[in-house]
């Protein structure tokens, strides 16, 4: 995974991050879903059971975090399938899923995906480095400038079955 992102020139997606995700997955604080296409890495998403965003953590809203699909594999349903699995898992514990998305153009695909899937802004404005941004405050547009969204999930108690093919 780290090598895939290194080839794209994406910083911050190094081996140490994925080793941390593995430790958190094993500890049960983060679930990690990995997509493969024709046996090759195609993307991943994680679920944080206790969000770093205080309004989510205080309300017990799990956070879908760090959805990544390499650009060459986008618009093929990989991100949607990863989101399906994350939402399915969250629905076992919570009626609501949360997600934060960056505001600059590199996050455009994710912004569109979340809105198309029914996520709506939580109404609390934007944050940067975990802090709410006040009216008139100046900020740097970077990966830490985030707008937060929530989505009501269908109950897992419905009599609906999904099979594998």
CATH number of the domain that residue 139 is part of: 3.40.630.30
Query: What would the pLDDT profile of 112-151 be if each residue is shown by its tens digit?
Result: 999 999 999 999 999 999 899 999 999 999 989 999 999 9
Residue pair 82/43 in contact (Cβ under 8 Å)? The answer is yes
CA separation for the pair 163, 34 (Å, rounded) = 19
Rounded CA-CA distance 53/51 in Å is: 5
Whether 75 maps to a domain, the answer reads: yes
Task: Tell me if 158 is assigned to some domain.
Answer: no
Phi-psi region of 77 (alpha: psi -120 to 50; beta: other; left: phi over 0): left
Q: What pLDDT is recorded for position 10?
A: 55
Q: How far from 124 is each of 37, 54, 106, 120, 128, CA to CA, in Å?
A: 38, 11, 22, 11, 13
Return d(Cα 24, Cα 138) in angstroms, integer: 34
- Say how many domains are in the chain: 1
Give me the domain span that covers residue 108. Answer: 2-152
Residue 160 forms part of a structural domain: no
Average pLDDT, the chain: 85
- Is residue 165 domain-resident? no
In a domain? residue 123: yes
pLDDT tens by residue, 7-48: 555 555 556 777 888 898 889 899 999 888 888 788 889 999
CB 149 within 8 A of CB 114: yes
What residues contact residue 47 under an 8 Å CB cut-off, 6+ apart?
30, 31, 33, 62, 63, 64, 65, 86, 89, 90
CA distance 2 to 14: 5
In a domain, 157, yes or no: no
What is residue 38's predicted lDDT score, i.e. its pLDDT? 84
């Amino acid at each position: 995974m780290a090598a895939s992102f290194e080839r794209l020139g994406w910083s911050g997606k190094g081996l140490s991050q994925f080793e941390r995700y593995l430790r958190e997955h094993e500890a049960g604080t983060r679930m990690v879903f990995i997509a493969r296409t024709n046996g090759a890495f195609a993307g991943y998403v994680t679920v944080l059971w206790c969000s770093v965003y205080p309004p989510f953590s205080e309300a017990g809203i799990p956070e879908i975090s760090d959805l990544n699909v390499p650009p060459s594999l986008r618009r093929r349903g990989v991100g949607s399938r990863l989101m399906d699995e994350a939402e399915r898992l969250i629905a076992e514990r919570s009626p609501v899923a949360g997600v934060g998305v960056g505001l600059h153009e590199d996050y455009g695909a994710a912004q569109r995906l979340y809105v198309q899937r029914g996520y709506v802004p939580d109404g609390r404005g934007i944050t940067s480095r975990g802090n709410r941004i006040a009216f008139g405050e100046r900020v740097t547009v970077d990966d830490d400038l985030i707008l937060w969204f929530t989505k009501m999930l269908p109950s897992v108690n419905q009599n609906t079955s999904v099979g594998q093919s």
